[in-house]
Amino acid sequence: MRTLAQLALSGRPLDVPVIDCHAHVGPSRGIDRPSSPDAIVRLMDKIGVERNVVSGLMFATGVRIEAMNDWVAECLHAHPDRFLGYCYINPNFPEAISAEIERCFEQPGFAGFKLHVSWNGVPYDSERYAPVYEFAAARRLPILAHTWGDESVRALARMARAHPSIPFLAGHSGAGDVEINLEEARQTPNLYLELTYSGGTPWLTKRLVDDVGADRIVWGSDTILFAASHQIGKVVFADVTEIAKRQILGGTARRLFGLT
Amino acid sequence: MEYVRLPLVLDVGNRQGEAARRTYEDVHAIATAHPRLPIVLWNCFYMDERLLVPLLDVCPNVRVGLATVFIPTFGIEQFTARYGPGRLIFGSNWPHQSPGPLLTYVLYADVPDVVKMAILGDTMHALIRDVRWPVRGFLADAKADGAAAPDESAGGGAAGPTEDADEVRPTVDAESAPWLEAMAELEARARSPQRASDEEGE
């Protein structure tokens, strides 16, 4: 049996059902990349990704904030066995949040929320997110939030402690000050570390695994912004056990998203 | 540097916005003023296409290093389709960055093995091979015999270090063996005439 590193070195799909917890669909700043559901699935097959959990790129506009979630719904409709969706809401339009949540979760495949403090400028512990936290807590839905090893992680961790039934995924763990992510994760059992980061910081995966354990770490790629083929390398070549790699690439996420 | 074809490595600094635009304008000025100077750019940002593509379109002497964050989805596929296999060069930015992600970025690309080999080493080998090594003594020689530059028509093929003489053989131990084995497999596939023939029809 080949190891994950050996499979990657030979360019073959990994033999673990990988879950990409941080992926995107839709146009981005006019960058010309294939972004149709079919194109993304071909990309997933190349690496061995079973499912992408997707949100729209990059921000909800004020004119039609549901556009991003429509791109997600298109994927869910085209390949219901390959995609799960994050509902994205814009806290700057609080009057529209509840209706958009209801609209999304009427459709099969929406499985969590994506929040992005940098685009919206509203901290995660703002009251404006209350409808999101209430909805997610009642259904134990994961929430992926953009963080950057700073106060964004602190605020997210505070919300995680206030809502212990919600799995909170701190996006881009490893960017910024990773010590903040680790410190908060140690004292917050429902705060998970998600690995997407453009840089390939040496030994990051091992550092996180040694500190909080592989069952608190999920893999994400930021596809189609970054290449999933790049992001997978930080796990398959990490100096951790094969069991830990498989846990990070799919095991932890399967549990959080209720996948059998 | 242009005369001896010595590659100029420019770190464009992973800049964004106006700073990136000014940097690429500087690169354009250098590359067009010295069209036979091989230039390799490091630390391009992953959303630099709007600056990078126009530059590569008009400056065939500019190549892009993959290191750090030049990791767009379908980047290898799109850039090699537009420019051929010789404009991308593998790098890792070690020890600041881990080499593993950049390696999987190349190995999982949906391109023929020969293209992967070009990115992983062949293009860089060619750049080094094309350097006119005798120029190490060029200035001294020119002063001595009063000549200007050596005749370019000579092709720069005079004595220089041979590949064998300068080759550094990696130490093969238990940890590095799978890597070397995989690279050897990739090279064998890329060099196989049958494989190359199959790929032409894909």
pLDDT tens, A137-161?
999 999 999 999 999 999 999 999 9
CA–CA dist A48, A36 (Å, integer)? 18
Q: At what angle do helices A151-162 and A178-186 cross, to 10 degrees?
A: 10
Question: Per-residue pLDDT tens for B18-46?
Answer: 888 999 999 999 999 999 999 999 988 87
B157 pLDDT more than 50: no
CA of A207 vs chain B CAs: smallest distance (Å)? 13
Interface confidence (ipTM) of the complex: 0.92
A31 pLDDT more than 70: no
Mean pLDDT in residue range A36-58: 92
B93 pLDDT more than 80: yes
Alpha carbon A148 to chain centroid, angstroms: 14
Reported for A177-183, long-range contacts at CB under 8 A and 24+ positions apart, including other chains, are A177/A149, A177/A150, A178/A149, A178/A204, A178/A207, A178/A208, A179/A149, A180/A149, A180/A150, A180/A153, A180/A154, A181/A147, A181/A149, A181/A153, A181/A208, A182/A207, A182/A208, A182/A211, A182/A212
Q: For residue B183, what pLDDT is reported?
A: 82
CA of B70 vs chain A CAs: smallest distance (Å)? 9
In A172-201, the residues whose Cβ lies within 8 Å of chain B are 198-201
> What are the residues whose beta carbons fall under 8 Å from the beta carbon of A127, sequence distance 6 or more?
none
Higher per-residue confidence, B128 vs B154: B128
Q: For residue B151, what are its two tokens?
A: 């005749």
Which of A31, A199, A229 has its CB closest to that of B104? A229
In B85-104, the residues whose Cβ lies within 8 Å of chain A are 94-104
Which of A6, A225, A233 has its CB closest to that of B182? A6
Question: Which chain A residues contact residue B179 at CB under 8 A?
Answer: 9
Q: For residue B103, what pLDDT is reported?
A: 92
Please check whether residue A31 is in contact with residue B49, taking contact to mean a CB–CB distance below 8 angstroms: yes
> Which of B27, B20, B23 is closest to B46 using CA atoms?
B20
B174 pLDDT more than 80: no
Question: Per-residue pLDDT tens for A193-243?
Answer: 999 987 777 889 999 999 999 999 999 999 888 899 999 999 999 999 999
Question: Per-residue pLDDT tens for A81-90?
Answer: 999 999 999 8
Say whether B107 and A203 touch across the interface (CB within 8 A).
no
Higher per-residue confidence, B179 vs A23: A23
Question: Per-residue pLDDT tens for A93-131?
Answer: 888 899 999 999 999 999 999 999 888 889 999 999 999
Give the count of Cβ contacts less than 8 A between chain A and B.
113
